[in-house]
Amino acid sequence: MPPSNHRPAVGNQSRRRRLFTDSRAAALAVLSRIGSGAVTLDQVLDQMAPQTSGLSTRDRALFNQLVYGVLRWRLRLDAVIETFADRPVKKLSPLVLNILRLGLLQILFMDRIPPSAAVNTAVNLARSHRAGKAAGFVNALLRNVLRAPGRFVLPDSASSPVDHMALDKSFPHWLVSRWIDRYGVAQTAALCDVMNSVPPLTLRCNFLKNNLVQLIGALDAQAADLQPLDALPGALNLTGPRCPIHEMQAFKDGRFAVQDGAAQLVSLFLSPQPDETILDACAGLGGKTTHIAGMMQNRGCVVALDNAGSKLTRLQDEAHRQGISIIRTSPADLHQPLSMAPHSSFDRVLLDAPCTGLGVLRRNPDAKWSFQKKDIDRYAARQLRFLENLAPWVKPGGVLVFSVCSMEPEENEGVIKRFLKNHPNFVINHAQAIEEKSVHPFINQDGFLRIIPHHHQMDGFFAARLSRC
């Protein structure tokens, strides 16, 4: 990574380990790493956390705005660059392209930054990477955008609705086309707008340690605003944190977890009960696992599986922070039939399956550009395989919940229909006597839990609740 406003590395660390003190240089480094396509935004942010630890609170906020903003608006930014450049975007070096994207984002979408500052900092970024000739090109293009903003024109919305919306909202053409076919133009525009918005910071109260009133009292001085979610017990949106979440004493004490409302609804849909034995088959970092254990009042047993040992280690740390002792972790590969103790079975099984993540694009905007239409069928096949391998471990009379953070039919009811066709001993559970009434408004006539971002102001999720006969 070329040097730019860095503090010198210590000891034997490589040049790439230098600390960033400038938000734009840090954002450029993150975008350059993501551009390789081999890693996700979350992975890059985790890997580079030590290097960005030197950013001030204000610079970190700008850093986040720049990274997420470029990824949200990349297609629109590239279209503007294509309009003003003397060469195709594909002919530009990744470094220069990302510098232009950062500059344009500030000019077009960030009112608080003077255009001149956006241009000058972009030029300085190019120079700091020893790209003298590129600096002149960057300067000329950005200043031409400022001189003639009307030169970029969107396709006509009447004759080319998909092309117009794809560029206007900055979403892949294939995805916009799918959504327009399913939701119509107006609803797709509303969905895109929500997906381009900054998601709320939603907290889940840990009832093992406090109630919601006590939690609000503990957090009141550390946030600009706290708003309980009427639709969800123990959930609240936090606005304007006055320090990083992990530095809050209430967080250190395990009194809450950060979790979107839609993810909380999935655990409520599972409806775990104290003293049951429950399997969380794709536990990840344990957001739903710890929620389940809390709903069980820390009584019974939750077995958490994942194919990444590092995630299970972090899950154990999270369970300890929240004061939970009933979770047992075990590595597992759901591509293969599970190997567990003979006669093992579970009252409830949750499969929060790997998916395209097209329902959480507001949190993971890089997924807009990393997934293609063909990936939907590939993920759906994997989800079905995972369900097949989990079915034998559900007790007769037990419950199997399948969930994905995707709204695409192939990954939703398409998977369930194929599974039920091969497993007549499972049926959709239409019971309206689920103890947690909060889920009822989100269950459709087919018995599925379906959460649509622009309708519910939460992440996009789908879940099916099956009973074994």
Q: For residue 48, how many other CB atoms are within 10 A of its CB?
A: 18
- SS3 assignment, position 204: strand
Q: Where are the CATH 1.10.940.10 domain residues in the chain?
A: 6-151
d(CA 101, CA 69) in angstroms, rounded, equals 9
In degrees rounded to 5, what are phi and psi of residue 462? Answer: -135, 140
Catalytic residues: 405
Q: Check pLDDT > 90 for residue 1.
A: no
Q: Check pLDDT > 50 for residue 13.
A: no
226 close to 238: Cβ distance less than 8 angstroms: yes
d(CA 106, CA 263) in angstroms, rounded, equals 33
Q: What percent of the chain has pLDDT over 90?
A: 86
Q: Where are the CATH 3.40.50.150 domain residues in the chain?
A: 261-468
Q: Check pLDDT > 90 for residue 464.
A: yes
Q: Given this model, what pLDDT does residue 87 score?
A: 85
Match domain 6-151 to its CATH number in 3.30.360.10, 3.30.465.10, 1.10.940.10, 3.40.920.10: 1.10.940.10
pLDDT tens-digit profile of 169-222?
999 999 999 999 999 999 999 999 999 999 999 999 999 999 999 999 999 999
Q: Check pLDDT > 70 for residue 111.
A: yes
Q: For residue 186, how many other CB atoms are within 10 A of its CB?
A: 9
Q: Check pLDDT > 80 for residue 33.
A: yes
Beta-bridged to residue 367, according to DSSP, are none
Q: Rounded to two decimals, what is the model's pTM?
A: 0.92
Q: Given this model, what pLDDT does residue 246 score?
A: 92
Task: Look at the alpha carbons of 74, 79, 84, 87 in this order and tell me if their dihedral is positive or negative.
Answer: positive
Quickly name the fold that domain 261-468 has. Rossmann fold (3.40.50)
pLDDT tens-digit profile of 331-372?
999 999 998 876 679 999 999 999 999 999 999 999 999 999
Q: For residue 95, how many other CB atoms are within 10 A of its CB?
A: 18
- For residue 132, name the pLDDT band (cuts at 50, 70, 90): confident
Q: Given this model, what pLDDT does residue 435 score?
A: 56
- SS3 assignment, position 398: strand
DSSP type of residue 435: S
